[in-house]
Amino acid sequence: MDPSTILEVSWDASEEEIRAAYLRKVKEHPPERSPEEFERIRDAYEMLRDPRNRMRHMLRSSDADAPLASFADGLKPERRFTGPRAWLEVLKGK
């Protein structure tokens, strides 16, 4: 299942929104009551909180165009780019 769906946030959510959604979900599904659901929530949070992991996941997803477009909308004009080579440069930290 998609990490953004698990935490009920959009792909372009801020770090604060992701953390708030994570904490809300953990309250709903504490580890002692539902360990499997808690593990899914934790994994989704780990994926979304790191921008590089989020980009990698978006690139591998089947409908990658929509999340990439919304992610690029939030970038400064000088940081916007197109094409796979540009994404690879960002992932490498250039």
Query: What is the spatial distance between Cα 54 and Cα 52, in angstroms, rounded to a whole number?
Result: 5
- Sign, Cα dihedral of 65, 67, 73, 79: negative
Token representation of residue 21: 């959604």
Q: Is the pLDDT of residue 38 over 70?
A: yes
What are the residue ranges of helices labelled H in 29-76? 35-49, 51-60, 65-73
- The stretch 23-44 carries a mean pLDDT of 93
The model scores a pTM over 0.75: no
Res 58: pLDDT = 73
Res 83: pLDDT = 58
3-92 is classed CATH 1.10.287: yes
pLDDT confidence of 72, banded at 50, 70, 90?
Answer: low
When mean pLDDT is compared across 14-23, 35-44, 52-61, 80-89, the lowest value belongs to: 80-89
Comparison of pLDDT for 63 and 43, the residue scoring more: 43
Average pLDDT over the chain, rounded to an integer: 77
Half-sphere exposure of 32 (CA within 13 A, CB side): 1
